[in-house]
Amino acid sequence: MSRPLPLSNLRVLDVSQVMAGPFSCMLLADMGADVIKVEPPKVGDQTRRAMGFRLQGDDSAGFLALNRNKRSVELDLKNEAGLRAFYELVKTADVLVENYRPGVAKRLGIDYETLKEIHPRLIYASISGFGQTGPWAMRPGFDLIAQAMSGILSVTGQAGAAPAKNSVPVGDLGAGLFTAYAVLSAVIGRGDDGPGQYIDVSLFEAALGLSIWEVAEYWGTGKVPQPLGSANRMSAPYQAFMASDRHFVFGAANQKLWALLCEVLDRPDLLADPRFATNAERMRHRDELESALSTTLRTRKADAWIAALLEAGVPAGPILTYQEALASEQAAARDMILDMEHPVEGKIPQLGFPVKLRGTPQQLRRPPPLLGEHTEEIMREIGCDIGKLGQQGAFGR
């Protein structure tokens, strides 16, 4: 007999839009939580219409990527009847995640102080650009702004070049990951009969919190970190190099690997060079090291170097496009592309689960919901008169 998913006893209200909140709630949903996406009538999460590419229906590929395993209910939180219905829904929930700008939830009457009076065990997570306190709290927050103001943008790209944003939205996704981590910590801390609590997450702090090496370099040396291209702040050589045909990467991050690298390259002179004797010296002479290695690496094709380095035990690999990465045998072996049936789109691809639970494997239980698809179902579950609520404008007019 199969065991239930680990979070199947949790109900989560996803009162968020775009990326950080929906991503966090999807992580919880993938682990079995009953995630109810509370959306404004007729428009829904702005990602449905405004973000990314469309396939067949109205919802964008961006929305489809962030909202599987959820149900959707339309509620007008600016309408008295809609707000009453929302309060009834809150009474049944364990967790609420929202990402309004600070102050908006209070104006709507759905802030933590209001809702904890209705449901003292509620765990309430707010995601914002800069957190609920501090001089920047009221600034609007996007991933780009978080990358810029956390320092990430200052160290990304090549030295002397124009600022280069990290294409993967580390502020947004990092905030989503930290929110899921905080929510589960609060659930455990709440126990069987304890109170809930408020969780304050920001894109700025998520981006800064992920800047481990950069902050360590600054505190350790007193020097402001600068862009290094593909290089690593704590090890050398550990970056992309050009072979005779294309770039590839390898990492000789300790003395053993450095010695093996010199052996593969047939460069005993590098091993004997005092400029490269230790990792600290190699980092100090990074430009000279790169130049010395490049003269040899450009003599063979990337695949040949990769094969030789891997055989010797030196980590190395090609630089793949997303098309190549998704089509790789490793992605296939790890089930990183899953097909899901959608009522409008038909069969759509989904990224697989990035962690695997062998005892309670995750499932694609629900496709990303259509706007308001489960409104009637959910209202009936919590004992609301859907006809009366509809007449009063709870679901929009």
CB atoms within 10 A of CB 205: 18
Cα–Cα–Cα angle for 112, 114, 116, rounded to 5 degrees: 65
Rounded alpha-carbon distances, angstroms, from residue 166 to 143, 146, 172, 314, 335:
10, 11, 12, 27, 26
Match 């810029």 to its residue by tokens: 148
Which residue's entry shows tokens 């990303």? Answer: 368
- Helix (H/G/I), strand (E/B), else coil: 198: strand
C-alpha distances in Å from residue 340, one per residue of 2, 48, 159, 185: 21, 18, 43, 31
The backbone torsions φ and ψ at residue 230, rounded to the nearest 5 degrees and listed phi first, read -95, 0
Q: In what order do the strands lie in the sheet with 123-128?
A: 70-74, 34-39, 11-15, 95-98, 123-128, 198-202
Pair 264, 316: CB distance under 8 Å: no
- The catalytic residue among 14, 94, 111, 172 is 172
Rounded to an integer, what distance in angstroms lies between the CA atom of residue 25 and that of residue 316?
35
Closest CA to 173 of 14, 27, 287: 27
Question: Is residue 172 among the annotated active site residues?
Answer: yes
- Dig out the tokens for 372 from the structure: 């308001």
| Alpha-carbon distances, residue 327 vs 55, 76, 230, 264, 320 (angstroms) | 21, 43, 24, 30, 10
List, by residue number, the catalytic residues: 172
